[in-house]
Structure 1
Amino acid sequence: MAKRTRFAEYENRYANYRFELSEEGILFMQCHTNGKSLVWDWKAHDDMTDVFADIAGDREIKVLIHTGTGENYNADWGRLPDGNPPERPVYQLMPDERGLNKLDEKAWYSRNLIFNVLDVDVPMISAVNGPCNIHSEVPLMGDIVLASDDAWFQDVSHFPRGQVPGDGQHVIWNFLVGHNRGRYLLLTGKKLGAQEALEWGAVAEVLPKEQLLDRAWELARELAKRPPLVLRYTRQLFTQELKRAFLNELGHGLARETYAQRAFFPFGGDMEPLDRAWDDRPWSD
């Protein structure tokens, strides 16, 4: 989906994504909702797909730093303004083919989000500044993944809530940490603390929260000293196997997730409520 873009064209385009461009050509991308941690509603989700298409089309940048805002890398999954989840997602309120087409649109955005991130042709440094409980595949597709010492990873929006973990979680975790660890994390809802994520090989460094962005900028400035084509071709080299993995299994996972959507708790009714809150912390770090 990438097309030729320039920083001025997307700098102020998105409500949930803040950008800075340094003199060295380092693009700083910060996710947020009203200046606080990003809340994953449909607009933030769909806009992130377009954001990465714009970044992928910008041939004037040399390095990307991707991070969140506030205490969390992201906050809760889709919520209404009053803080409560919707009774049913919009596509389940639509009759017949309208609901099917809306659900297909969401799967389309999910598929393109993955490949737009991988189409970014410059080294990507992900700075996970706190808990990441949804769409962890986005920061984990970075070439260098840094985590604050209070960060943890969890796939709260899929299997723990009655959904198939098909929108990239089943690919990225197995790719990074191995099949046994990956499926264990997804099936149990385990919260993988920063230090354990380092031991598993999912992140490269764990730092005190106040040092995280300084370290990201330090690495980015060092990378940016290399010629632009070296940076671009190195990123392409490193993403090739990951692209193959997603190409092989992303559509398969999305299809199974979409088919099982109507059983999704709390919307579908085929699953009893959990005996613990979504942000409960049953796992030790």
Structure 2
Amino acid sequence: MTMSDPAYFTRYENLAFERTDDGVLTMRFHTNGGSVTFTGQTHEDLPRALEDISLDTDNTALILTGTGDAFMDQIDGDSLGEIFKPVVWEKIRREGLAVLQRLLSLPIPVIGVANGPATVHSEYLLLTDIHIASDRATYGDFPHPAFGITAGDGLQVVWEEIAGPARAKWLLWTGETIDAATAERWGVVNEVVAHDRAYDRGVELARTLAAKPALYRSLQKQTLNQRLLRRIVEGVPFGMALEGLTAADLAYQR
């Protein structure tokens, strides 16, 4: 961190930031400098970080990516707390909705770079404005089938909207994964590139979009994300309420 970097660059345990001279911000998920294990703290920090990014007028574009050879494929379920309790789940529900809304509402273009498996919160990548995948990337939903709770936290809305209902149902029912080539064929990914070129391609695209006028960037963002934002607001609060019921049912059965 330099003297000119904003305070939020070092504020969050699982988020690392760097920014180019022309304002292209990279936000990397990480745990101790390696591939991230998603935790309750990550869940709490992410909406706050996105708000920080939104308010920082020095940012001209955002690259969202992971660290090492995975975008996100590990989660510490216990760290989310006693999710079967309504007051705990309501906090998670609030945070989960805020992340998706804020990703779509940032006043700058967002480039998603899947640097490897995205089997936890793959919807974050699908909500970006342009989505680049390493040829080693895979997509799916690991946590919900593993934990035995419904996928109501945005996956159901975003995958249905981007890939279509039949593909979304198959992916979320079966717990199977798809590779980057299949994701591109499904219309989920814009480009698949060699693994060691994925981030650089994201930077190229981000710098191209960052060079456009600020008002254009902000209003184009609103124009192109209006429908998806509406779907998120309509579907995620209900979906997360149902997800919370299945979490409570698991606790009841123990």
TM-score by length of 2: 0.93
**Distance across 2 between alignment mates of 1:220 and 1:89:** 33
* 1:183 has 2:184 as partner: no
Distance 2:94 2:172 in 1: 22
Q: Which residue of 1 aligns with 2:58?
A: 60
Residue 90 in structure 1 maps to residue 88 in structure 2: no
Paired residues of 2:73 and 2:142 also in contact (CA < 8 A): no
Distance 1:89 1:122, change over 3 A: closer
Give 1 or 2 for the bigger CA radius of gyration.
1
Change in 2 beyond 3 A, CA 1:100/1:64: same
Structure 1 counterpart of 2:114:
128
Deviation at 1:59, TM superposition (A): 2.5
Using CA pairs below 8 Å that are at least 6 residues apart, which structure has the higher relative contact order?
2
Residue in 2 that maps onto 1:50: 48
Q: What residue number does 2:76 align with?
A: 78
8 Å contact from structure 1 (residues 33, 39) kept in 2: yes
Q: In percent, how many aligned pairs have the same letter? A: 31
Number of the residue aligned with 1:278: none
Q: Which of residues 36, 46, 71 in structure 2 aligns to 1:38?
A: 36
- Report the CA distance shift for 1:89/1:35 in structure 2 as closer, same or farther (over 3 A): closer
Contact kept? 2:119, 2:140, Cα under 8 Å:
yes
Matched-pair contact (CA < 8 Å) for 2:83–2:247: no
Q: Does 1:222 align with 2:208?
A: yes
Deviation at 1:161, TM superposition (A): 3.1
Match status 1:168 vs 2:124: no
CA distance in 2, matches of 1:156, 1:268: 23
User: In structure 2, which of residues 207, 213, 217 is the aligned counterpart of residue 231 of structure 1?
Assistant: 217
SS at match of 2:62: strand
Cα distance in 1 for residues equivalent to 2:83 and 2:46: 23
Distance 1:269 1:154, change over 3 A: farther
Deviations 1:158-209 (A, max 9, x none): 1353111100001000000111111111001110110000000000011111
Measured in 1, the distance between the counterparts of 2:253 and 2:32 equals: 33
> Where in structure 1 are there 5+ consecutive unaligned residues?
1-5, 80-85, 94-98, 271-285
| Structure 2 unmatched runs, 5+ | none
How far apart are the structure 2 equivalents of 1:166 and 1:74? 18
Indicate the residue corresponding to 1:8 in structure 2: 6
Secondary structure of the residue aligned to 2:57 is coil
In 2, Cα distance between equivalents of 1:106 and 1:55: 21
- Equivalents in 2 of 1:14, 1:25: separation in Å? 20
Aligned residues: 251
Structure-2 separation of matches of 1:127 and 1:116? 18
Q: Which residue of 2 aligns with 1:258?
A: 244
Query: Which amino acid letter does the alignment assign opposite residue 41 of structure 1?
Result: T
Deviation of 1:268 (Å):
6.0
More helix, by proportion: 2
| 1:114 shift after superposition | 1.1
Instruction: Output the aligned Cα RMSD.
Output: 1.9
Structure 2 equivalent of residue 198 of structure 1: 184
CA distance in 2, matches of 1:140, 1:90: 27
Amino acid at match of 2:37: V
TM-score normalised by structure 1 residue count: 0.83
Instruction: Give CA-to-partner distance per residue, 1:198-257, whole Å, 9 cap, x none.
Output: 000000011111001111111111112211111111111111111011111111101111
Taking the aligned partners of 1:101 and 1:111, their CA distance within structure 2 comes to 16
1:83-131 deviations in Å (ceiling 9; x for gaps): xxx4x963268xxxxx321121111111111112122111100001000
